Structure 1
């Protein structure tokens, strides 16, 4: 286990909200000992005492559920260096010392290449590891270049491209529910599942994040990483094991099977929008373009929706819809698996047999199943819902990720080829949006998002789409193990 963690960008929001509480949670769980050392590096002209005061204040604010003694132990282990993360001499001074370090780049993606180059020249101690936050690069070309720089610095096994969604209990439960229940895996295919919604809708507005968000937007901030990772777990073939190679190979297969989007596809299958002024949670919210630090000329979206299809035997004919938005009326954070309707109801049953929906609630973490049963009147169908609240995890998501980094367990990190493939999936979308082929719609803050389109593409058996939206599910593909009809 590595016992030195260096955070570059240590005075930022990521450290305050997640990394410091994550370390305190590890300490409280007995996973960090007295020999652990934290080094913070940033542009702030602070000394160690000032950094410790700041860290204490952040833990008081964001780590209220953790034992105070654990937070004090983490703060006591901390030192601080004012440093330019792009200056090899500054970086060398930060990482100097005995034994390997875990270098956590809590930095904007645009700074990653220069920071990695500085680490290379700083001569990292043998056995060190590099941690990068999402998004990995800003487009496909920058991701390829960043992977090249990292390959010159450390082995792939020492690179942790972290996505905290993968450490969430419910996200991991997607695999557990599928693979450990005989009743589900046989029907986990296009013959039985019509569509899957992967949604992260937030009632939060910009909340002071313009410095990062206005250069990223909803597509890069959420869809390219978090939501595509969820797609991989929902759609992947059962892995031989949950070891890092088996799991990541199967996720890569999913990304490679995504049907490439043409310019015309992007116009039909994607949406982008940004919020205007409105009422949210009983308060007035300014338009996104009126938020401090926003450049309206960038045309940054706060809402993104992408509809994908997979060209493989299991999923041909199922629609996967990835959606995220800010400043919406309500939070909706879930994976919703929509099963196809029953083919026939016996005469004498009245009412509607709604298709079943299996929902993995991401925040709060729940599991529910929409069913149809008999209501108060005999032979009359009525909706039923089964709901289970998932037990709180032993460790919060960032604590789990930090522990994996220190232990060298790369299972929940993103492999280099996987990161590149995710950019390939969305590069046509980015290009079409940049060219203005998809209009930037608007929606009032506090609403449900942009208005529904009057037409949507409908998948066909041959893989083509037409321009009308049908109320009936697309014709199912043959189940795995059976010949196509």
Structure 2
């Protein structure tokens, strides 16, 4: 790619996540020759745009960012030559005319709400795109299975599928390859990676962050649509996938798709989704001494939306390997601690010899996401009384890339590698899986529980190692 065009460049997502990832990528020397152009609905001056770039790129220049001398020089050049243009992307012809002014090939990043992205793509014409254009869509991809299908058809009329990048920044290269390397390079693990030996799998993304001025987006999405529908289902699919023949995007993404096609909320498609999901919302509290208001009192929140800030769904992968094993996907905000991990809990041993004392706890494997870590919980003898079982943890750090997750994803976009992008059919499958639960929430069949900000959630909610 020659030019990265960011639509929604004056928005929160761009300043907080996207541009810092761009900065890390360029300063590391892995995006030579890239030009950066911003466009947004706000009437920003050149000085405002440069101020945003300076703030967003600061992290890339900090010690420990793996910057190179050449990369730092390149980043300064990119910033100096970058410009911003006010643009209504939903106006017919406007986006096409704008793209005609930038040097191609171009990657167009839609850092916009789903409905705006859909409208922008609907008014865009194939002949208005420079040759080789790649379209980069931010999650959530659509707002339902139906809308995701409609957006897929719109995008397919503009560019080929391998030029569409549906971004899930939770699927950084480190996350994907760490899980696959752990599973498929270790004979000790893969033979036990099935329902015969595993009791349950939990994929947890708990944050100590509250709303943080994101009401315009979050109050429409909630924890279910923001995290479970996209990020956590994709991670689940990688944990549950069959071994691919290669690490090529076709093999990996086809294995992911096979898992999602077999998945339902509840044990079968006929299971009442109200019994396989739950939701809650935070009330006032404190996080590390900082007061947090009740969610419904947060600026921009509309109580009519009935938005959850903590959600959990129980998904079953209905195939030979995983029949009967619950995959519990949970995500929440304003919790007492940040916790981002997959927890694999093994079934208990069939018989513990009489004579051992102490706690007989399940063997658990924890795969941490940011930081990338691996922890194995085991029961072993001693120290002290050799007949007493004690809990120990074997820990190690997993490989990580100094690029921020958005930098990893963008590197794939600029290099034309869709491995880390969500394929069109799986984007639709993710909505298909969770829509019954969302419908049950909307109907009131699943009550809205409450938890104090800074707590671990409602008192009756527990996860492994809480």
TM-score range, shorter chain: over 0.9
- Structure 1 pair 412–406 and aligned structure 2 pair: CA distance change class (3 A): same
When normalised by structure 1's length, the TM-score is 0.89
CA displacement at 1:345 relative to structure 2: 2.0
CA offsets, 1:170-217, max 9 Å, x none? 443111100000100000000100000100011111011001000111
| Partner of residue 213, structure 1 | 218
Name the CA distance, whole Å, in 2 between partners of 1:62 and 1:307.
39
| Partner of residue 77, structure 2 | 73
Q: Tell me if the contact between 2:178 and 2:398 (Cα under 8 Å) persists in the aligned partners.
A: no
Name the CA distance, whole Å, in 2 between partners of 1:392 and 1:112.
32
- Structure 1 pair 414–374 and aligned structure 2 pair: CA distance change class (3 A): same
For the pair 1:27 / 2:31, whether they are aligned, the reply is: no
For the pair 1:382 / 2:390, whether they are aligned, the reply is: yes
Q: Tell me if the contact between 1:48 and 1:78 (Cα under 8 Å) persists in the aligned partners.
A: no
Q: Aligned to 1:51, which of 37, 45, 49?
A: 49
CA offsets, 1:303-352, max 9 Å, x none? 10001112110011211100011111111111000011111222332223
CA displacement at 1:392 relative to structure 2: 3.8
Q: Aligned to 2:454, which of 442, 446, 453?
A: 446
C-alpha RMSD of matched pairs (Å): 2.0
Count of residues in Structure 1 that have an aligned counterpart in Structure 2: 454
SS at match of 2:196: coil
SS at match of 1:165: coil
CA displacement at 1:16 relative to structure 2: 1.3
Q: Aligned to 1:279, which of 286, 296, 302?
A: 286
1:11-410 alignment runs, 5 A limit: 11-33=10-32, 35-60=33-58, 64-65=62-63, 66=65, 69=73, 71-96=75-100, 97-120=102-125, 123-167=128-172, 169-259=174-264, 261=266, 265-375=272-382, 376-410=384-418
CA displacement at 1:93 relative to structure 2: 3.0
Name the CA distance, whole Å, in 2 between partners of 1:191 and 1:61.
46
Name the CA distance, whole Å, in 2 between partners of 1:322 and 1:446.
20
Q: Tell me if the contact between 1:56 and 1:71 (Cα under 8 Å) persists in the aligned partners.
A: no
Name the CA distance, whole Å, in 1 between partners of 2:380 and 2:407.
42
Name the CA distance, whole Å, in 1 between partners of 2:31 and 2:461.
52
1:439-478 alignment runs, 5 A limit: 439-452=447-460
Q: Tell me if the contact between 1:263 and 1:428 (Cα under 8 Å) persists in the aligned partners.
A: no
- Structure 1 pair 49–282 and aligned structure 2 pair: CA distance change class (3 A): closer
SS at match of 1:107: coil
CA displacement at 1:18 relative to structure 2: 2.3
Name the CA distance, whole Å, in 1 between partners of 2:116 and 2:270.
31
Name the CA distance, whole Å, in 1 between partners of 2:413 and 2:92.
23
Q: Tell me if the contact between 1:21 and 1:63 (Cα under 8 Å) persists in the aligned partners.
A: no
**More divergent stretch after superposition (16-25 vs 55-64):** 55-64
- Structure 1 pair 63–443 and aligned structure 2 pair: CA distance change class (3 A): farther
Q: Tell me if the contact between 2:199 and 2:345 (Cα under 8 Å) persists in the aligned partners.
A: yes
- Structure 1 pair 435–122 and aligned structure 2 pair: CA distance change class (3 A): farther
| Partner of residue 459, structure 1 | none
- Structure 1 pair 63–444 and aligned structure 2 pair: CA distance change class (3 A): farther
Name the CA distance, whole Å, in 1 between partners of 2:357 and 2:392.
15
CA displacement at 1:63 relative to structure 2: 6.1
Q: Tell me if the contact between 1:166 and 1:172 (Cα under 8 Å) persists in the aligned partners.
A: no
CA displacement at 1:58 relative to structure 2: 2.7
Q: Tell me if the contact between 2:173 and 2:420 (Cα under 8 Å) persists in the aligned partners.
A: no
Name the CA distance, whole Å, in 2 between partners of 1:243 and 1:46.
42
- Structure 1 pair 93–428 and aligned structure 2 pair: CA distance change class (3 A): same
Name the CA distance, whole Å, in 1 between partners of 2:264 and 2:273.
12
CA displacement at 1:364 relative to structure 2: 2.2
Name the CA distance, whole Å, in 2 between partners of 1:98 and 1:72.
19
CA displacement at 1:32 relative to structure 2: 1.9
Q: Tell me if the contact between 1:367 and 1:388 (Cα under 8 Å) persists in the aligned partners.
A: yes
CA displacement at 1:245 relative to structure 2: 1.1
Structure 2 unaligned blocks of 5 or more? none
| Partner of residue 6, structure 1 | 5
Structure 1 unaligned blocks of 5 or more? 457-470, 472-485
Name the CA distance, whole Å, in 2 between partners of 1:144 and 1:392.
34
